[in-house]
Every structure is written in C-alpha cells, then in structure tokens.
C-alpha cells in the first residue's frame, strides 16, 4: 500500500494540470486498490507485479473501452460480425458451460443482443453508442436508420469498407497510427465523421502504402458500397454521399436497438 501511495503522490506532483482537470475522477490510494479488486474479482490480491498498478495507477481510470478478448466467443453468441473478425467459428452453439442448453430468451435479452451486435461490430463503447443514439434522434427520418448511417460514416469503418483494413479494429489501428489522411491532412481520430466530398487516402509513406496494398489484396468485404468511390492505384477513396441501409453488411434489426434505448436515453 505504501508503494502505491508513493507512486500516486509522484504522479500528483508532476501532473498538477491534469489532476485539476480531472478533479472529479481522482481517488485516494485505497479506492484505487478497491477498484482493482472489483475489476479482477473479489479474490484477486493486487501486487506490484500487476501491470495495472506497476505502470501507473491512473490506468485504472482510463481502462481501454475497446474489446480485446476472444472474438469468436462473441460471434458464437451474437452471430456473424464482419467488422469484428473474418474468422468462422467451428462450433455453432453459444459459448460457456450452458451454451448448448435450450433457453427461452426474454424480450429484454433479444433487444440487448441486437444492441451488442452494434457495439462489437463497430467497436464502440456503451457511452459512445448512447451519444450516437441521441444524435440519431435529433435528425430527421428513422432513428434506427440514422444510427446505422452515423456508425457507417465513422473513419475507421469507411477504411474497413474500402479495404484498407481487414476488420474494423484493424482499420482503427491504421487510423490511430497515422497512416490515413482526410483531405490531405493526417487524421488519427477513428470516430471522425466522414462527410460527402471527403477524400480518404493512404499517407505518402512506404510503410503506409505497403500495409494498405497488402490489405486490399484480401479485403474484409467483397463489394465497396456505392457511396464510396475507390481508386486502387492511388490508394484513395472519395465519399460521395451517406451510407444506404441496404448496404449495411451487418444483419441487425435496428428498431430493437432503438426500443432498447427508449427507456434508458
């Protein structure tokens, strides 16, 4: 405990500006340990070999929101998710000890699964998805269709649909590492909303071009949607409109997602 408190004080002293901005999120050292126990389980004893405590206590506040576990486990439960993985599961039943048992799903469980499909396919957190639902409600037209269009126009998903990345997580890594430009400027924000007229291209670097060319040989999806114009020799694409509902590759009932959030948002 003393070592954790010492590290916490050092970080507090060297990051006064950051702490002042995150005043509502900073906790005492005993709260940090308690958070670690809840995250790892009641039986877990935090030690200095634990990477979450050894590197930086602030890691407990900024846990990665993207899913980093086994992907086929998710597809076995939710069905085919082309944005999450291109692999096919060998077993057709859900994972877990009771995966083969026949259970009647409740109305809530059906809507929850549809919502989880969106989360895992597009790689967004619950907070991000709630924000997209609010934006979709504020727009004219069907809320469910607007929600799908907002998710389809994310920069990482656009890079996936044109073949720059094998999956949405792979395309997000391409964007985050600065390999992609939008209208001639390097953009490393995966959630950037692509607008009509935007030109998405691979950065003029040898390593960036090699990555994109290798992914274009084996794209995650066979067809490029009509709202995107791909120029393979130049490794660029132009957005000429918004995504259409029939070109969404995910099999989902978006109305159930809207119903799920009708009481929560």
Which carries the bigger pLDDT value, residue 63 or residue 165?
165
> What is the CATH classification number for the domain harbouring 161?
3.10.290.10
**Per-residue pLDDT tens digits for 157-199:** 999 999 999 999 999 999 999 999 999 999 999 999 999 999 9
Task: Tell me what the pLDDT averaged over the chain comes to.
Answer: 80
Q: Is residue 232 part of a domain?
A: yes
Q: What is the CATH classification number for the domain harbouring 103? A: 1.10.1050.10
| Strand ranges for the chain from DSSP E | 180-182, 185-186, 199-202, 228-231, 236-239
Q: Tell me the pLDDT tens digit for each residue of 86-109.
A: 888 888 888 887 777 777 889 999
How does DSSP assign 197-233, residue by residue? T-EEEE-SSHHHHHHHHHHHHS-SSSS--TTEEEETT
Residues 174 and 136 in one domain: no
Whether residues 158 and 236 share a domain: the answer is yes
Task: Answer yes or no: is 226 within a domain.
Answer: yes
Q: What percent of the chain has pLDDT over 90?
A: 52
Same domain (yes/no): 83, 143: yes
Q: What is the pTM of this model?
A: 0.72
Predicted confidence at residue 70, as pLDDT, reads 86
Three-class SS state of 26? coil
The reply to whether 106 falls in a domain is yes
Give me the domain span that covers residue 15: 2-60
Domain-located, residue 65: no
Instruction: Identify the DSSP state of 154.
Output: B
Last residue of a domain, one of 32, 60, 88: 60
Calculate ∠ Cα 124-75-215, nearest 5°: 70
**Domain check: are 52 and 99 in the same one?**
no
Residues 69-83 have a mean pLDDT of: 88
Instruction: Kindly give, in sequence order, each residue whose CB lies less than 8 Å from that of residue 197, ignoring residues fewer than 6 positions away.
Output: 238, 239, 240
* pLDDT: which is higher, 35 or 82: 82
- The three-class DSSP label of residue 238 is strand
Report if residue 249 sits inside a domain.
Answer: no
Q: How many domains does the chain fold into?
A: 3
Residue 2 exposed, middle or buried by CB count within 10 Å (0-12, 13-18, 19+)? exposed
Whether residues 233 and 189 fall in one domain = yes
Residues in Cβ contact with 143 at an 8 Å cutoff, skipping those fewer than 6 apart: 133, 136, 137, 258
Per residue in 7-58, pLDDT (tens digit) is 555 555 555 544 444 444 444 444 443 444 343 444 444 443 344 434 444 4
In a domain, 247, yes or no: no
Instruction: Say whether pLDDT at 264 is over 90.
Output: no
CA separation (Å) from 116 to 21, 85, 141, 219, 228? 32, 15, 23, 24, 27
């Amino acid at each position: 405990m003393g070592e954790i408190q010492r590290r916490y004080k050092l970080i507090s002293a060297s990051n006064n500006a950051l702490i002042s901005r995150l005043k509502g999120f900073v906790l005492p050292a005993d709260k940090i340990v308690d958070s670690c126990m809840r995250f790892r389980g009641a039986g877990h004893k935090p030690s200095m070999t634990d990477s979450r405590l050894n590197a930086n206590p602030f890691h407990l506040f900024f846990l990665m929101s993207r899913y980093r576990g086994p992907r086929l486990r998710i597809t076995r439960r939710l069905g085919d998710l082309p944005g999450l993985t291109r692999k096919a599961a060998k077993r057709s039943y859900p994972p877990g000890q009771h995966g083969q048992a026949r259970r009647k799903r409740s109305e809530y469980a059906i809507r929850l699964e549809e919502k989880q499909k969106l989360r895992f396919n597009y790689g967004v957190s619950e907070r991000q998805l709630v924000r997209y639902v609010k934006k979709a409600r504020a727009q004219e037209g069907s809320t469910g269709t607007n929600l799908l269009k907002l998710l389809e126009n994310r920069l990482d998903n656009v890079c996936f649909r044109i073949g720059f990345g094998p999956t949405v997580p792979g395309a997000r890594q391409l964007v985050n590492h600065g390999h992609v430009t939008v209208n001639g400027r390097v953009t490393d924000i995966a959630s950037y909303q692509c607008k009509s007229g935007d030109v998405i291209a691979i950065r003029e670097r040898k390593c960036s071009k090699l990555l994109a060319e290798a992914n274009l040989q084996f794209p995650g999806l066979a067809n490029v949607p009509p709202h995107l114009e791909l120029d393979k020799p130049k490794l660029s694409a132009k957005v000429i409109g918004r995504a259409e509902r029939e070109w969404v590759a995910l099999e989902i009932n978006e109305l159930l997602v809207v119903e799920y959030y009708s009481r929560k948002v």
